[in-house]
Amino acid sequence: MERFNQLISTGVQEGFSDLHITGGHPVVYRKNGVINFDKKGKWLHEEINELVRKLLNNRQMEMLERRLSVDFAMSIHHIRVRINVFNTTRGLSLAIRLLSGKAPLINNLNLHPSLQEFCRPASGLILICGTTGCGKSTTIAAMIEEINRTRSAHIVTLEDPVEYRFLSKQAFIEQRELGVNFPSFEQGLLDVLREDPDVIVVGELREPGTMKLTLNAAESGHLVIASLHATNSEDALYRICNSFSPESQNVVRSQLSSTLTLLVIQQLIYMDKINFRVPLLSILRGRQSVKGIIRDGKLAQIESAIQTGKGEGMFTMEQYRKEYINMRKHFTSPAETFKPSTEESPEILYPAPLVSGVHIKVEGPAFEVGEKAKMNFRQNSQDFGQYYVINEKAPMDELITTIKKSDKF
């Protein structure tokens, strides 16, 4: 761990954005977008195995064994890092992203300034969409920070994992991580409505249950910000609506039309004249014309509505490139915005000893296993071992097969 900690500290000092550690191979680092090799920094396979054992808790180790990879974020000497541990032909490898110590600002991300105004409403649904790696989470973090700087509000985030840690300013921010602080997005959304929130942030909409509860939260008078994998506005709306049974879709479309405030599709495009990538957006606002299209299920008309809504602040990607990106005179370099640094938040990460563990699905739907970690209480340590929660709807033969396949017995 001491060697690993030193590597992270050196990475911040040298301005590395990423580090890669794999057995019997030089440490690899990325600086200014370019891959480099540290030929003096080889790790033995056994050293990596030992490092992973020290980095992962019981829940994460269980996930690594089951999925052969695990993704998590942590703080090392107040330096925030996101780590993916995965299995390769060289054994276990670690891909480490060094994060900025503070959340970015909307303007520093080269985003359209109109996104700031959507941080002011008291209620509604904001969807930030795009493919993996397009910067959705970073855009949401910038919107959270905008609210944090400008509004007195209670913000509760449900994230997987927690990347940027926020220091409460005008807003009171509480962050919860999937699998650590709540067992599922559905349960997290059920909990959050009892936690007096003004703003709810949902890391990703994946399952119909999560989507339904997100719509309910927005409909009940909260500002909800969520991310979704989608390539265009029509696709995003279809993904939500088609996640439900045909008999439920009218209700879902009605909820979506009444709550949708903003739908952003984001891509990253490389610009030769500045030598780095900038966000390219499509912006759909929840105007009355758009609400009617969604309510009536005429989603094929959404792109036309964006084109004709230019005067209301909407943009197709083509319009956005022409009228905003090509006209903008100054862009902030990502090397400056995302420069790794010490965390702004001085708060320690504290795992509550009274929380016995979380339930995570293992080997199919027949049962769940909850890991109760060793807890220090009044300097006494006790191992509570494993417990199982039987899914009463699971067929008995499936339950027996699952237990036999599990190495927990």
Q: Is the pLDDT of residue 354 over 80?
A: no
Q: Tell me the average pLDDT across 11-29.
A: 90
pLDDT tens per residue, range 277-335: 899 999 999 999 999 999 999 999 999 999 999 999 999 999 999 999 999 999 998 87
pLDDT tens per residue, range 187-215: 999 999 999 999 999 999 999 999 999 99
Q: Is the pLDDT of residue 46 over 80?
A: yes
Q: Is the pLDDT of residue 92 over 70?
A: yes
CA distance 318 to 315: 8
Provide CATH 3.30.450.90 ranges for the chain: 2-98
pLDDT at 345: 66
- The highest-confidence range among 7-21, 58-72, 111-125, 174-188, by mean pLDDT, is 111-125
CA distance 10 to 6: 6
For the domain spanning 2-98, the CATH number is 3.30.450.90
pTM for this prediction? 0.77
Q: Which CATH class is domain 107-337?
A: alpha beta
Provide CATH 3.40.50.300 ranges for the chain: 107-337
Q: Is the pLDDT of residue 401 over 70?
A: no
pLDDT bracket for residue 378 (50, 70, 90): very low
